[in-house]
């Protein structure tokens, strides 16, 4: 996106991990940004306040505290602002919590998304970006995972809600003609990531001298993707001419659990203590993104290795602990 084409961009979930980084990029690019976030208590809401603290200094930024399930709030956004682009990141995240509370995940991720899609119909919106997930692939045996693979066999409520989100996006694209891109994120990590996510949690526990939960035999693997690479992919989608498209955004280099633990321990100069546990229900054996479509259409090219990414994350963690350690204790 070029600065000469300033647009009103709505980012739902914009005070969260991915959303706040996207807004960093959009504000630096001179865009007009409206952030909608309910600052829920999935983790300490003050973390989200901290995430967006620098955004409040920009005259082209506006924060709206609200819930995507509140049709009145959502409709008023499209009435009050000539929103041209929507990046829909707001969601209940995480596989394991979705199994414990499926009703909430259905309400937010499906009903909330439907309210947003309905509200944009007949508005000024010219582009809609939906945050999907590698979880839609379930226990896919074919690697790497391609956007053309069958994703009908979900093994968690979270994956099911994201698959349903993609289905609704296609339906609304078909009915309204609004271009929509669905981005399947693969295990995003980096500064500001949620405290319960593996890399953040492992770093925190190792710093405290505590054992880290080690599921299975360490052979499960994830396609860990650094936040800057994910933002590059989203920005590519914003400027694409797709009518409807699904994209994998990953690093395309899976990392096994035992290797991840080793890299974090090496960066911290701490020998990890392991608390061996069974692999939880709903967890997949592996994720591995085929990113050839994103490379060819979006000029997507992930650059950050797991070693470099962990180094950057720990630098951020140590800095933020000095000034706001009470939020991550």
Q: Left (φ > 0), alpha (ψ -120 to 50) or beta: where does 241 sit? A: alpha
- List, in order, residues 6 or more apart from 158 with CB less than 8 Å away: 92, 93, 94, 95, 97, 98, 105, 109, 133, 135, 282
Q: Which value, in Å, is the radius of gyration of the alpha carbons in the chain?
A: 19
C-beta of residue 52 within 8 angstroms of C-beta of residue 16:
no
- List, in order, residues 6 or more apart from 79 with CB less than 8 Å away: none
> Whose structure tokens read 């995240």?
93
C-beta of residue 90 within 8 angstroms of C-beta of residue 97:
no
Tokens of residue 310, six digits: 């962990």
CA separation for the pair 112, 206 (Å, rounded): 37
The H or E element containing residue 12 is strand 8-12
Q: Catalytic site residue 224?
A: no
C-beta of residue 286 within 8 angstroms of C-beta of residue 225:
no
Cis? peptide before 119, omega within 30° of 0: no
Helices and strands: H and E segment counts in the chain:
12, 13
Q: Among residues 42, 158, 172, 300, which one is catalytic? A: 158
161, exposed or middle or buried, with CB in 10 Å at 0-12, 13-18, 19+? buried
Half-sphere exposure of 270 (CA within 13 A, CB side): 19
Which residues have a catalytic role annotated? 158
């Amino acid at each position: 996106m070029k600065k000469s084409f300033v647009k009103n961009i709505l980012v739902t979930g914009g005070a969260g991990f991915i959303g706040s980084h996207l807004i960093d990029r959009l504000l630096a690019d001179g865009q007009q940004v409206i952030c909608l976030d309910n600052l829920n208590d999935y983790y300490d809401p003050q973390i989200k306040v901290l995430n967006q603290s620098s955004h409040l200094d920009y005259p082209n930024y506006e924060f709206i505290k609200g819930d995507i399930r509140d049709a009145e709030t959502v409709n008023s956004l499209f009435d009050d602002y000539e929103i041209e682009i929507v990046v829909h990141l707001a969601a209940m995240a995480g596989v394991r919590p979705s199994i414990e509370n499926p009703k909430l995940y259905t309400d937010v991720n499906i009903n909330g998304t439907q309210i947003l899609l309905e509200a944009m119909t007949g508005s000024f919106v010219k582009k809609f970006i939906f945050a999907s997930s590698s979880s839609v692939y379930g226990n896919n045996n074919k690697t790497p995972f391609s956007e053309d693979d069958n994703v009908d066999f979900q093994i968690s409520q979270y994956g099911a809600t994201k698959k349903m989100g993609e289905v609704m996006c296609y339906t609304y694209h078909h009915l309204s003609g609004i271009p929509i891109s669905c981005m399947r994120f693969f295990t995003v990590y980096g500064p500001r990531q949620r405290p319960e996510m593996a890399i953040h949690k492992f770093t925190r526990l190792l710093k405290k001298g505590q054992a880290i939960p080690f599921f299975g035999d360490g052979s499960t693997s994830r396609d860990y993707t650094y936040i800057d690479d994910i933002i590059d992919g989203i920005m590519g989608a914003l400027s694409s001419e797709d009518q409807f498209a699904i994209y994998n955004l990953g690093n395309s280099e899976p990392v096994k659990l035992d290797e991840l633990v080793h890299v974090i321990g090496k960066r911290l100069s701490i020998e990890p203590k392991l608390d061996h546990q069974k692999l939880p229900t709903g967890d997949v054996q592996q994720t591995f993104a085929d990113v050839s479509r994103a490379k060819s259409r979006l000029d997507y090219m992930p650059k950050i290795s797991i070693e470099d990414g962990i180094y950057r994350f720990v630098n951020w963690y140590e800095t933020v602990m000095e000034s706001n350690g009470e939020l991550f204790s």
